[in-house]
Amino acid sequence: MIYLDNAATTRMRPEVLEAMLPYLQDAFGNASAGYALARQAHGALDAAREQMRSALHAEKAREVYFTSGGTESDNWAIKGAALANRQKGRHIVTTAVEHHAVLETCEALEREGFSVTYLRPDGEGRICLADIERAVRPDTVLVSVMWANNEVGTVNPVAEIGAFLRERGILFHVDAVQAVGHLPIDVVQAKIDLLSLSAHKFHGPKGVGALYIREGVRVADLMDGGAQERGRRAGTENVAGIVGMGEAMRLAEEELSTEAARQSAIRDYMIRRALLEVPGAVLNGSREHRLPGNVNLSVPGVRSEVTLFKMDMAGIACSGGSACTAGAIGASHVLLAMGLPDARVQSAIRFSFSCDTTREEVDAAVEELKHIAAAKR
């Protein structure tokens, strides 16, 4: 099988599994207890927290809170910040191309009396600073903008947005699930207050993630019932998963510059081949501001589900958009918000790469796409 759906999830690296195994077997202690076995688990959590701090360039390890993944982190950040600061205002700004974990959380807050502005991107899926400047109001308490889009791979100018919001005292949340492990991240430089991430997007285990909360930022606690995560997120910690996330993050950071350059070269190669050789192919998203491992193409006249079926039959795994909505019927909310014509929206296919992806695999995908496009004629 040729796997080109790494924006949905990635293969866990062998080094990550090896790091996790001791905490699934002999070192199984509960990190909240007081004996030696528990202290070993607690020490592993501390080490993983420091690995995450280093990768995010946060100032303090205690600003990193472990969660079950990106969806939980987004919920905690947005609901927690909005509810804890509602005396300052009840207006939130986000974008129409966010992941559903952000959009549906904002919709839930609307039902509780908050007002939400949903910004539409440009035709490449990008939000610019001017959009934010026009949207904020005296009662704006939070702005949430994704670092990079999960469907079209467009990268937003988060540092520019962060600087503008910090000057005005407005909290800034960034869903960085697609960016962490693939782009350089510096929460201090970008003036980010809250940042969400998920381990399985950078070759870590599923079911574990983190939320960065800048020290001093008021955020309501997520769950009651225990003292874990400094009393803010109750529940026995997933020690093995957290250790795996830390190891995956360490490996991703070590290889970031070389791997980003390698994947960018494969990405550009695939785009060039597809646009030249696949009849009618069009690129969705930004050519300049794009994740290293994302190619989103439309072949008007061939519906996405037809292309996906034929790719699957050829042993190639790719996606029609977000994995979280792949089973749902309906057009991509991202492509619709970008204002793309219906023929492009209904024919979009996403290919996404990892450290395992080769040029030969991309060649095979382009050849199959050529056959599929030719068959429509």
Q: Contact, 299 vs 280, CB < 8 A?
A: yes
- Residue that has been written with the tokens 């095979």 in this structure: 364
Q: Contact, 285 vs 296, CB < 8 A?
A: yes
At position 207, the amino acid (one-letter code) is G
- Residue that has been written with the tokens 């300052």 in this structure: 88
- The one catalytic residue in 106, 128, 318, 324 is 324
Closest CA to 172 of 197, 142, 140, 147: 142
For residue 88, with 0-12 CB atoms within 10 Å meaning exposed, 13-18 middle and 19 or more buried, which class applies?
middle
Distance between the two ends of the chain, CA-based, in angstroms? 28
Structure tokens at 34: 């007081």
**Sheet strand arrangement including 282-283:** 282-283, 294-298, 348-352
At position 346, the amino acid (one-letter code) is Q
DSSP letter for 368, please: H
Give the pairing type, strands 209-213 and 64-67: antiparallel
Angle at 232 between CA 228 and CA 233, to 5 degrees: 60
d(CA 18, CA 342): 47
Closest CA to 179 of 31, 294, 60, 22: 294
Annotation marks residue 355 as catalytic: no
Burial 133-170 (b: 16+ CB within 10 A, else e): eebbeeebbbbbbbbbbbbbbbbbbbeebbebbeeeeb
Active-site amino acid positions: 324
